[in-house]
């Protein structure tokens, strides 16, 4: 049959808005429909069902819809318009809300070249300063990736308030490389822009310029949390927006700004703060101490825009009169049958700690048992602590589940097990986190056992806090 529509795909390749307008023709289509509609049939869909080839869906759109051959990595895909094409999945979470399924990989970090670049003149910004975002809906029940449907198309450049934080993130990552610490990079170091691991195998390493230590290959990426915020606020107009902490773009460092705001109320008791911010103590709110921090930051609810974008988790720390912390820090329970099928590099707990930045809001009991605000501290787990101590606890836990959980009961009816405990490791341990002993998960070899979770030891958390908090 004669092809009468072979020219219909043409668009102005020098105009970002024209490219976006043309891309909107993808809305509602599956990738298979894009292939079927391409009557030029000039390029085959290479390896389209290879699930490990994550860039393949983007390649299909490049070749079968936009009709250009893949170009060199140094330039944006639509070079004349300075636009980079990024195809990325979203999904529905357990509450039915749309979230980004994964981080957005931007470009590989060349450890030797990046140390000589400023953000404005960087390869990263040249290539990804303007992105054509194409979100498709990932659905586990759909077996063929080509049947995923394209839901959203948006030309995206980070707004000014985001860009200041992204630039700060970039400078931090590059600063660490210049210090010869590329091997200690972690996604938890930064807020919106991350240094994501990007290797074919867990053993892959490459040279870095200021150290003989080999480092994991990494890529600049927008974090999963940031991509979720972009989706639900910049791509889809949101009715319920989180409140911003920074009201203007004049702040140089977000974390310095937050710490200064909290420090301004250092020395106030919880009662003082409740009175100041008109919070009734008759019906004591859940997580009162964290809520007070939000009020200090000018947030009326319990969601801050910057925290949502950066996946910053607020944790309240209480220091006793003896300068010790009573509570260890718990994390969500893990399912035994799922844990044994993980690898450390893709483990739920290890990945969470690597990618999450915490804001500790620190209070201390004074001599009169008043709880006094001492300040706040941004923290993410140091690389060595994660890769040595936490990994060791994770590996032992998996080994216990694979070789056989041993449970003993003493003469008072108290149960104990051979999961790693707090005395074995300075950083982490495993212990129950169910509602009661009857709150269980299935074991890999059959049977059930009380739900467990990983914890960070109270003594370890104490060691990570600033000395001033103990005064």
Tens digits of per-residue pLDDT, 165-214? Answer: 999 999 999 999 999 999 999 999 999 999 999 887 878 999 999 999 99
Could you give the residue ranges of the DSSP H alpha helices within 224-320?
224-229, 254-263, 270-276, 288-296, 305-310
Tokens 């020219």 belong to residue: 7
pLDDT confidence band for 252 (50 / 70 / 90): confident
C-alpha span between 101 and 105 (Å, rounded): 12
DSSP-derived secondary structure letter, 184: G
- What backbone torsions phi and psi does residue 360 show, to the nearest 5 degrees? -80, 125
pLDDT confidence band for 242 (50 / 70 / 90): confident
Q: In Å, what is the CA distance from 280 to each residue of 275, 285, 364?
A: 8, 8, 21
Beta bridge partners of 452: 334, 432
Tens digits of per-residue pLDDT, 382-402? Answer: 999 999 999 999 999 999 999
Tens digits of per-residue pLDDT, 178-192? Answer: 999 999 999 999 999
- Mean pLDDT over the full length of the chain: 90
Tokens read off for 66 = 């936009």
C-alpha span between 146 and 373 (Å, rounded): 54
Nearest to 55 by CA among 36, 80, 83, 77: 77
* Interacting residues of 423 by C-beta distance below 8 A, sequence separation 6+: none
User: Mind listing the domains of the chain with CATH numbers?
Assistant: 16-235 (3.40.600.10), 254-470 (3.40.600.10)
Rg (C-alpha) for the chain, rounded Å, is 25
User: Which DSSP string do the residues of 76-112 spell out, in sequence order?
Assistant: -SBTTTTBEEEEEEEEE-TTS-EEESS-EEEEE--HH
Measured between its terminal Cα atoms, the distance across the chain in Å is: 83
Tens digits of per-residue pLDDT, 423-452? Answer: 999 999 999 986 677 789 999 988 999 999
Beta bridge partners of 83: 78
Tens digits of per-residue pLDDT, 313-363? Answer: 999 999 999 999 999 999 999 999 999 999 999 999 999 999 999 999 999
C-alpha span between 221 and 440 (Å, rounded): 38
DSSP-derived secondary structure letter, 325: B
Percent of the chain with pLDDT over 90: 78
* Interacting residues of 80 by C-beta distance below 8 A, sequence separation 6+: 13, 14
User: Three-state DSSP class for 430?
Assistant: strand
Tokens 């450390």 belong to residue: 344
Is the CB of residue 378 less than 8 Å from the CB of residue 270?
no
User: pLDDT higher for 4 or 272?
Assistant: 272
Q: The pTM is what? A: 0.87
């Amino acid at each position: 049959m004669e092809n009468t529509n072979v020219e219909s795909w043409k668009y102005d390749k020098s105009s970002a808005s024209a490219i976006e307008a043309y891309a909107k023709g993808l809305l509602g289509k599956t990738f298979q429909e894009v292939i079927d509609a391409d009557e030029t049939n000039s390029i085959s869909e290479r390896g389209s069902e290879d699930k490990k080839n994550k860039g393949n869906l983007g390649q299909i759109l490049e070749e079968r819809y936009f009709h250009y051959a893949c170009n060199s990595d140094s330039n944006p895909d639509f070079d004349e318009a300075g636009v980079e094409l990024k195809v990325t999945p979203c999904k529905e979470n357990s509450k039915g809300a749309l979230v980004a399924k994964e981080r957005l990989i931007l470009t590989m970090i060349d450890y030797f070249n990046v140390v000589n670049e400023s953000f404005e003149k960087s390869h990263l910004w040249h290539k990804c300063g303007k992105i054509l975002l194409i979100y498709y809906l990932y659905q586990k029940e759909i077996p063929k990736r080509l049947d995923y449907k394209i839901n959203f198309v948006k030309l995206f450049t980070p707004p000014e308030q985001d860009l200041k934080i992204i630039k700060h993130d970039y400078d931090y990552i590059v600063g660490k490389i210049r210090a010869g610490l590329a091997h200690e990079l972690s996604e938890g170091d930064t807020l919106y822009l991350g240094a994501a691991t990007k290797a074919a195998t867990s053993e892959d390493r490459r040279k870095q310029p200021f150290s003989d230590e080999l480092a994991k290959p990494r890529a600049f990426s927008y974090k999963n949390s940031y991509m979720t915020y972009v989706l639900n606020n910049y791509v889809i107009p949101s009715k319920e927006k989180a409140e911003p902490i920074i009201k203007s773009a004049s702040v140089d460092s977000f974390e310095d700004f937050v710490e200064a705001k909290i420090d301004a109320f250092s020395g106030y008791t919880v009662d003082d703060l409740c009175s100041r911010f008109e919070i009734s103590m008759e019906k004591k709110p859940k997580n009162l101490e964290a809520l007070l921090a939000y009020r200090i930051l000018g947030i009326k609810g319990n969601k801050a825009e910057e925290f949502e974008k950066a996946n910053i988790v607020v944790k309240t720390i209480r220091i006793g009169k003896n300068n010790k912390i009573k509570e260890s820090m718990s994390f969500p329970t893990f399912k035994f049958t799922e844990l044994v099928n993980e690898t450390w590099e893709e483990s739920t707990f290890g990945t969470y700690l690597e990618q999450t930045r915490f804001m500790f809001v620190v209070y201390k009991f004074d001599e009169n048992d008043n709880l006094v605000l001492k300040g706040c501290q941004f923290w993410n787990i140091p690389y060595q602590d994660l890769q040595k101590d936490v990994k060791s606890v994770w590996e032992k836990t998996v080994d216990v589940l694979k070789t056989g959980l041993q449970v003993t009961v003493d003469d008072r009816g108290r149960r104990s097990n051979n999961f790693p405990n707090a005395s074995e490791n300075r950083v982490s341990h495993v212990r129950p986190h169910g509602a009661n002993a009857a709150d269980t998960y299935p074991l890999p070899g059959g049977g059930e056992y009380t739900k467990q979770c990983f914890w960070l030891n109270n003594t370890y958390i104490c060691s990570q806090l600033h000395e001033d908090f103990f005064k």
